[in-house]
Copies of this chain bind each other. A is one copy, B any other.
Amino acid sequence: MTGESDGEGEQAAFGNRVLVVDDDAALARALTINLRAHGWDVTAAPTGAAALDAVASARPDVVLLDLGLPDMPGLDVIEGIRGWTRVPIVVLSARQLGDDKVDALDAGADDYVTKPFAMNELLARLRAAVRRALPTQSEEPVVMAGELRIDLARRQVSRGGADVRLSPTEWALLEVLVRNRGRLVDRKQLLHEVWGPAYSTETNYLRVYTAQLRRKLEKDASHPRHILTHPGAGYRFEE
């Protein structure tokens, strides 16, 4: 985490990262090879716990989940994922009949493929799942500003392609500014939204954290081009 992205972090297009969750090593390998051949950026997880971690760290655009994992019930994995993100989940199941299909969909899965399956069908369903999900999150959460790329949904900032690590407070401040980009944000409003309603005079915080953000994001921190100061009023993010 501390260093750069782990391997295939930066790919050209969006919506092509898939997380394959399967404990069957042979099947997982086959899936990985096949998906990569079709342009997917594949991350693999052999267990439910690893899957939950991977959803958080790799931020896939779609999850291909095999039920019947060794460490925990597949439904719990679905619910664990649904607890905090709406990334589409396509379930892979061996059984052809049974309640598990209904249960999985009820728990928050988006689609269902039964083994054995045709690769074509699987690819189609993955594409469909991603496509359906896009309009939901497409409130244009990615803001480009010079060499900065700020992904509001994924809480990710990169400068010139390299990821930038931000502390929670740094991110909270940047987020408010970017969500109000092009518009002046009051000092009071910034303090209120980042630190809470009780803080309205601690302009110290703003000075400290704008300085830190500029040091991390601006090319020349002493001549900022994106995080601008309005003396006596507040700050403004400009693209």
Question: Which A residues are within 8 Å of any B CB, using their own CB?
Answer: 10-11, 13-14, 16, 37-41, 76, 79-80, 82-83, 97-99, 101-102, 105-108, 112, 114, 123-124, 127, 130-131, 135, 153-156, 167-168, 171-172, 176, 179, 182-184, 188-189, 192-194, 196-200, 230-233
Contacts and interface: CB of A to CB of B under 8 A. Distances in A.
Contacts of A197: 11, 14, 16, 38-41
| Copies per complex of this chain | 2
Contact of A97 (B13, B39, B76, B196): B76
17 contacts: A13-B188, A16-B192, A40-B196, A79-B98, A82-B102, A82-B105, A83-B114, A99-B107, A123-B196, A131-B179, A135-B179, A154-B182, A155-B230, A155-B233, A168-B231, A168-B232, A171-B233
B79 A99 contact: yes
A100 B82 CA distance: 11
Contacts of A194: 127
Contacts of A184: 154-156
Contacts of A108: 102
B199 A127 contact: no
Contact of A107 (B37, B102, B153, B189): B102
A231 B135 contact: no
B124 A172 contact: yes
B97 A83 contact: yes
Nearest to A10: B200
A135 B39 CA distance: 37
A172 B124 CA distance: 9
A196 B102 contact: no
Nearest to A83: B101
Given A13-B188, A82-B101, A83-B101, 18 more contacts: A38-B197, A38-B198, A39-B197, A40-B197, A41-B197, A79-B99, A79-B101, A80-B97, A99-B107, A102-B108, A127-B196, A131-B176, A154-B182, A154-B183, A155-B184, A168-B230, A168-B231, A171-B233
Contacts of A79: 97-99, 101-102
Contacts of A123: 196
Nearest to A193: B131
